[in-house]
């Protein structure tokens, strides 16, 4: 993956995805003002439409006729369902049974067929469906087309804030941080890219320390409120890009994620789902490691259960 791949993705998806605003905030340190890249305002409420669209527009007409299948805890599901619907492609989504209701309903409303399974059975179920139907698997993160699509977020950040010093990005499977890191480092090598994980789903942080990709158990990662970040390991392709382009990995506590949800809502006036608030929590938790200069936290999505949002505000 290099900058040209991401620029090609940007050309391919232009007009099909929204160019989201970079919002200044009053949060953060005076010498490192915090900006929010508001992917919560992306169509469908998350960055995932970028990668899914970049993958689908490259399918052959033969592939399109067989439909697509994926597994996802929510936002990739909605993004793929939406992109598929808009291109007239049938989509089947395998989802863990503990997926928030709001995400189930949103995915079904986009016309996808949903198959609910235990989280541990996701991959095997996708494999079975592929064999039965010939559908094309569009993975949520471990895929060059997906990484390139998500990386377009990085192009927009540098275009809007050319002197950006630090970019905080939430990590689940690692597609978003891989793509952003490739783009940002190519355009501005001195900018630091920091990956952020919940401490309760910190497989990347552990692997970063050990120097090898590690896998956590879904019973462990399932503990975090950040339901979009419960993937048990970063992808293999993503791991290689993270090792090469990401500068640091930081973990955040659950109460910091809740505080960040509240802060984003009351200061920047946009909804951050827990997974989307993680990058803001990472900024706040980074302390003395934070360099002077403008910072960006990628608020990756805004699809949240109203009851949780009410609880965080109350």
List the one residue out of 194, 204, 207, 225 whose CA is nearest residue 298: 194
Quote the least distance from Cβ 202 to its own copies, whole Å.
27
Rounded CA-CA distance 284/212 in Å is 27
Which part of the chain contacts its own copies (CB under 8 A), choosing from 35-43, 48-56, 67-75, 236-244? 35-43
Question: Per CB under 8 A, does 253 bind its own copies?
Answer: no
CA atoms of 64 and 83, how far apart (whole Å): 12
Residue 193 Cβ, how far from its own copies at the closest point, in Å? 25
Q: Is 302 in the site for its own copies (CB under 8 A)?
A: yes
Which residue among the candidates 37, 48, 103, 185 is catalytic per the annotation?
48
The torsion of the CA quartet 53, 165, 171, 285, rounded to 10 degrees, works out to: -150
Query: Does residue 265 touch its own copies according to CB under 8 A?
Result: yes
Q: Does the footprint of its own copies cover residue 271 (CB under 8 A)? A: yes
Which of these ranges, 126-134, 172-180, 225-233, 261-269, lies near its own copies under the rule CB under 8 A? 261-269
CA distance 178 to 230: 17
Minimal distance, residue 270 CB to its own copies, in Å: 6
48 is catalytic: yes
Distance CA 56, CA 228 (A): 22
Task: Choose, by CB under 8 A, the member of 31, 215, 269, 292 that binds its own copies.
Answer: 269
What DSSP line would sit under 216-266, residue for residue? --HHHHTTSS-GGG--SS--HHHHHHHHHH--EEEEE-HHHHHHHHHHIII
CB 299 within 8 A of CB 277: yes
Q: Is 33 in the site for its own copies (CB under 8 A)?
A: no
Segment interacting with its own copies (CB under 8 A) among 51-59, 89-97, 224-232, 259-267: 259-267
- Applying CB under 8 A, the span of 139-147, 155-163, 265-273, 284-292 interacting with its own copies comes to 265-273
* Integer Cα distance of 133 and 141 in angstroms: 22
For residues 34 and 253, give the distance between their C-alpha atoms in angstroms, rounded to a whole number: 20
Active site residues: 48, 300
Residues in touch with its own copies (CB under 8 A): 21, 23-24, 40-41, 43, 45, 262, 265-266, 268-271, 302, 306-307, 309-311, 313-314
């Amino acid at each position: 993956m290099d900058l040209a791949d991401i620029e090609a993705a940007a050309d391919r998806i232009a007009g099909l995805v929204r160019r989201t605003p970079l919002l200044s905030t009053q949060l953060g340190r005076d010498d490192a003002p915090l900006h929010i890249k508001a992917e919560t305002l992306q169509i469908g409420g998350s960055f995932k439409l970028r990668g899914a669209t970049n993958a689908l527009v490259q399918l052959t007409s033969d592939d399109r006729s067989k439909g697509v299948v994926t597994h996802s805890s929510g936002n990739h599901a909605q993004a793929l369902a939406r992109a598929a619907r808009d291109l007239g492609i049938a989509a089947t989504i395998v989802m863990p049974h503990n997926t928030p209701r709001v995400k189930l309903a949103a995915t079904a409303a986009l016309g996808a067929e949903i198959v609910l399974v235990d989280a541990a059975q996701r991959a095997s179920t996708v494999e079975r469906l592929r064999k039965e139907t010939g559908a094309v698997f569009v993975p949520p993160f471990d895929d060059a087309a997906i990484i390139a699509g998500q990386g377009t977020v990085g192009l927009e950040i540098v275009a809007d804030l050319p002197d950006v010093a630090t970019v905080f990005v939430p990590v689940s499977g690692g597609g978003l941080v891989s793509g952003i890191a490739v783009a940002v480092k190519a355009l501005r090598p001195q900018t630091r890219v920091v990956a952020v994980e919940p401490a309760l789903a910190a497989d990347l942080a552990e692997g970063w320390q050990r120097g090898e990709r590690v896998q956590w158990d879904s019973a462990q990662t399932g503990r975090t409120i950040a339901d979009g970040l419960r993937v048990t390991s970063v992808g293999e392709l993503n791991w290689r890009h993270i090792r090469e382009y990401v500068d640091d990995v930081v973990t955040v506590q659950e109460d910091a994620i809740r505080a960040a949800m509240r802060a984003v809502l009351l200061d920047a006036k946009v909804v951050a789902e827990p997974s989307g608030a993680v990058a803001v929590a990472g900024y706040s938790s980074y302390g003395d490691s934070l360099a002077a200069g403008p910072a960006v936290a990628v608020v990756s999505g805004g699809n949240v259960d109203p009851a949780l949002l009410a609880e965080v505000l109350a």
